[in-house]
Amino acid sequence: MLNKYSGIPLYLQLKNLIIEKIESGEYEENSKIPSEQELCEMYNISRPTVRQAISELTSSGYLYKEKGKGTFVAKPKAQIDIRDFRGFSDSILESQVPGEKEIVFINELDNGDFPKLSNIFGIPDNQVERFAQIAYITKGSNEVLSLVTSFLPLGLFPSIIHDIKEKKPSYDILKGKYSLVPYKSRSTLEVIYSDQADSQYLRVQTGQALIKVESILTSRSGQVVELVISKYRADKCRFVFRDNK
């Protein structure tokens, strides 16, 4: 039950109670939860209190609404284990057959189009380098989970765009380029908000929270060979941090 004398707002208490019922299995996936009026009567609280709790649970991906039918329990979020995340997960160079990914666009650009590339790849001022920009989406249970964009220097991989379009396996793409095989990665994670382009591919509203993971992949010699920017839907994915002990 809710405690009206607690310092915790009633809408937050209700929100946490519904989450507990979902995680315990009392409210099953795709099942309809009690209506706003029923929740008001069950817990003796106001309609605005219930609406705020339901609105936040819907925005965070625990619930979804169907017009004229009610509010239902959403599918569990996809789980991404940070202990196993090396930054190679979304790499084009580490994919067995990168052309078999669900690619949404392949583009060619230079570091002037995306200045960040100059810093990451160590390109001197006033020097122009060309890059392949390859973007694809990942799915889980037929729902879009992430938008991944990979940047590869054409100076190192001059035929990468053609190879991917031809669906060549990675061992062909990297044949004779052992010194350029990804060996280490450095990743950063932050929360961002979707822009118009993100919304188009991720099928979300503009301004929705996303989890951005940026990974810089280097070869054994320390040369940067790939930049990978992955944007995960925060309402569909959860990151799990584990102690390695």
Q: What is the pLDDT of residues 116-174, one digit of tens each?
A: 999 999 999 889 999 999 999 998 878 899 999 999 999 999 999 999 999 999 889 89
Does the pLDDT value for residue 179 go beyond 80? yes
Q: Considering the entire predicted model, what is its pTM?
A: 0.71
- Region 66-85: what's the mean pLDDT? 76
pLDDT at 205: 86
Does the pLDDT value for residue 103 go beyond 90? yes
Does the pLDDT value for residue 219 go beyond 80? yes
- Region 61-88: what's the mean pLDDT? 76
Give the total number of structural domains in the chain: 2
- Beta strands 78-81 and 237-240 are parallel
List own/partner pairs for 154-158 with CB under 8 A and 24 or more apart.
154/108, 154/129, 154/130, 155/129, 155/130, 156/180, 156/225, 157/132
Does the pLDDT value for residue 85 go beyond 70? no
User: Which residues are CB-contacts of 34 (< 8 A; sequence separation ≥ 6)?
Assistant: 42
pLDDT at 2: 86
Domain that holds residue 171: 79-240
Mean pLDDT of the chain: 88
> In a 10 Å sphere around its CB, with 0-12 CB exposed, 13-18 middle and 19+ buried, how is residue 76 labelled?
middle
The three-class DSSP label of residue 79 is: strand
CB-CB contact of 40 with 50 (8 Å): yes
- Report yes or no on 3 lying in a domain: no
In degrees to the nearest 10, what's the CA dihedral of 179, 184, 190, 196? 20
Q: Which of 20, 44, 75 is the last residue of a domain?
A: 75
CATH number reported for the structural domain that contains residue 39 in this entry = 1.10.10.10
* Residue that has been written with the tokens 């990979």 in this structure: 150
Does the pLDDT value for residue 76 go beyond 90? no
CA–CA separation, 191 and 207 (whole Å) = 12
- Report yes or no on 1 lying in a domain: no
Q: Which of 75, 96, 124 is the last residue of a domain?
A: 75
- Report yes or no on 4 lying in a domain: no
pLDDT at 223: 94
Which stretches of 137-184 are DSSP H helices? 160-165, 170-173
